[in-house]
Structures are given as C-alpha cells and as structure tokens.
Amino acid sequence: MKLDYRQLNGIALAYMGDAIYEVYVRQHLLENGLTKPTKLHHIATRYVSAKAQAFLVEQWQAQGILTAEEEEFFRRGRNAKSHTSAKNTNVVTYRISTGFEAVFGYLHLSGQAERVAWLADWCIKTVESKGKTRG
C-alpha cells in the first residue's frame, strides 16, 4: 500500500520533513569534517532550529523559491493544530517552522528527490551565507 501524501495533515508532513531536512544537514556537517557529537548538535541547530527555519521561509518568500503547490503544503503545515508547544521560541515562529518541515515532507513523500536535494542545498547555503554576513 502506497502512502498518499495528499491525505496527510500538516503535522504528519512536518514529522517526515523534519527528518528529511535533518539528514541533509547532518551529511553536510560530516562532509565538512565535523565529527564530535556535541559540536555536531550545536552547529546543526543553526540550520534546523525553528528560528533558522522561519528565516529560510522568509527568504523563500522574498525570492519566490516555492512553487504554488509547495506554498499550499507550507500553509497546511503552518496552519495545522499542534498539541505540542514551542520550546525556545514563540508560537508564530514555531508554526512557520512546522510549515517549512511540511514542505520537505510533501516533497519527499511525493517522490521529488531532486527538488528535495536542491531545496536542502539552497537552505544550507543560505544559512551559511547569513552567518558570514554577521560581523
């Protein structure tokens, strides 16, 4: 039985998307020579925190990165009723990050591996360029 991603709620899509995006970030960090678990976790947070993801959504919107369908799945995730509360961030940022993760979940579950890879790479580069612009 094949899973129908169109029937999943935003929280379920975000659940999958969180894992997918995290794999790309972890692989990127390992490829860059980071191997100590505590350092890996600390640096990974720059990419996967709710605040980082909300920043990336802002950049997606400013640059018109998402397709209309991806925007639809972003809204599904952002507007989903979550029974968990945000740790270390406000509710709005948390909901935006849920939308971010839902996009990755949708893309993965709909078999769009090339788009997932492109978008993850774009996100990683965008986070890194943000870090370089800070003094």
User: Which residues are part of the catalytic machinery?
Assistant: 18
What confidence score (pLDDT) does residue 88 get?
Answer: 79
What confidence score (pLDDT) does residue 132 get?
Answer: 62
CATH no. for 16-133? 1.10.1520.10
pLDDT digits (tens, 9 = 90+) for 14-28: 999 999 999 999 999
Q: Rounded mean pLDDT of the chain?
A: 91
In contact, 80 and 123? CB cutoff 8 Å: no
What confidence score (pLDDT) does residue 35 get?
Answer: 86
Q: Would you kindly state where each structural domain of the chain is located, as residue ranges?
A: 16-133
Structure tokens at 21: 């995006």
pLDDT, average across residues 63-69: 97
What confidence score (pLDDT) does residue 135 get?
Answer: 37
pTM confidence score: 0.91
